Amino acid sequence: MELLKGYVAALKDGFGFIETLQHDKEIFFHFSNVEGKAEKLEVGQEVEYSIYSREKGGKVSAEGVKPLGKGSIPKLPCKDEVLNGKVTRPLRSVNPDQADYCGLIVAKSDDGTILGEYEFGIASLLNKKELLQEGDPVNFQISQAENFALNVKSNKQKLRSHVEAVKGQFGFLSYEQEEGKKLFFHMSEVEGGEILQVGDEVEFVVVTNQRTRKHSACCVRKLCTSQRPERLISKLKTMNIEEVARGGPRVTVIRQPKGPDGTKGFRPRGPKERSPAVPMDLMEQLTAQ
């Protein structure tokens, strides 16, 4: 059976897709056909696989999916010039309803003149987790052998906000793309494997699901750890003391008590005054008189 190579194009719940070396289509695979732990696969990862064709329906899938080390697939040489353009068609992993697998970028000069159209795949992206959508501005280079976009980088404006809530593997940001709805994010979109907590400041990009039209945050990057929101601080201040007795969070007194004279704290008690010591020979003289 022929061994092929490609790139992980998308990962779903229990299955995924592989982009071929020709960047013209994607091959379905089930996690049960992955050598090793499938949950450790990442989008854009290089893999080796073989093709299995079903007799009924003629559908194909990948078997014996084996993760490869970075650089196992030689990079395509590219031209030095860096072009600017806009995405006019996303990858099919972003918009499953479209017929074409590859995305498409229209390159333009500074005066708006169209320089050409170039397809791109998951292997083209510098950041494999960037879900480029229609209209997103990008810069990129072109492969020397064919009109294929490489080293594609998004120039979409990045936003900042704070983590509003965390619930297991997902959470919400204080940012509202739609009025009254906090922006959703999944922990898999957090860069560097950082663990986010309520109050953390983050940088992110808003993406829209092409089917549901729901918004979410991707490429979430932790900037710094901020103080807890004021409402949480107020809640701690008013917390019932019984919660502390049951082993709950402790409350620290931030206002020191005042003494009877109005000063802060209580005046420490000094040592008890004692009579001065009298030498024994002088004591005898005094008693003899």
Strands 159-167 and 170-178 turn out to be antiparallel
Q: How far apart are CA 85 and CA 62, in angstroms?
A: 34
Of 12-16, 22-26, 34-38, 241-245, the least confident: 241-245
Query: Which superfamily does 158-253 belong to?
Result: Nucleic acid-binding proteins (2.40.50.140)
Q: How far apart are CA 127 and CA 221, in angstroms?
A: 13
> How confident is the model over 79-91, as a mean pLDDT?
93
Is pLDDT at 255 greater than 70 in this prediction?
Answer: no
Asked if 140 and 120 count as a contact pair (C-beta separation under 8 A), the reply is yes
Query: Do the domains spanning 4-67 and 83-154 agree at the CATH topology level?
Result: yes
Q: Which fold has domain 83-154?
A: OB fold (Dihydrolipoamide Acetyltransferase, E2P) (2.40.50)
pLDDT value, residue 190: 87
Q: Which fold has domain 4-67?
A: OB fold (Dihydrolipoamide Acetyltransferase, E2P) (2.40.50)
pLDDT value, residue 239: 43
Q: How far apart are CA 266 and CA 255, in angstroms?
A: 14
> How confident is the model over 228-247, as a mean pLDDT?
45
- Give me the residue spans of the domains in the chain: 4-67, 83-154, 158-253
pLDDT value, residue 233: 43
The model's pTM is 0.64
Task: Quickly tell me which residue has 């619930």 as its tokens.
Answer: 167
pLDDT value, residue 125: 93
Is pLDDT at 175 greater than 70 in this prediction?
Answer: yes
Is pLDDT at 225 greater than 80 in this prediction?
Answer: no
Is pLDDT at 240 greater than 50 in this prediction?
Answer: no
Question: In terms of Cα–Cα distance, which of 252, 198, 200 is closest to 221?
Answer: 200
What 3-state DSSP class applies to 81? Answer: coil
Is pLDDT at 221 greater than 80 in this prediction?
Answer: yes
Task: Quickly tell me which residue has 């333009």 as its tokens.
Answer: 108
What are the pLDDT digits (tens) for 31-64?
999 999 998 899 999 999 999 887 566 688 999 9
User: For residues 195 and 58, which has the higher predicted lDDT (pLDDT)?
Assistant: 195
> How confident is the model over 85-108, as a mean pLDDT?
91
- The rounded percent of the chain whose pLDDT value lies above 90 is 37
> What type of residue sits at position 256?
Q
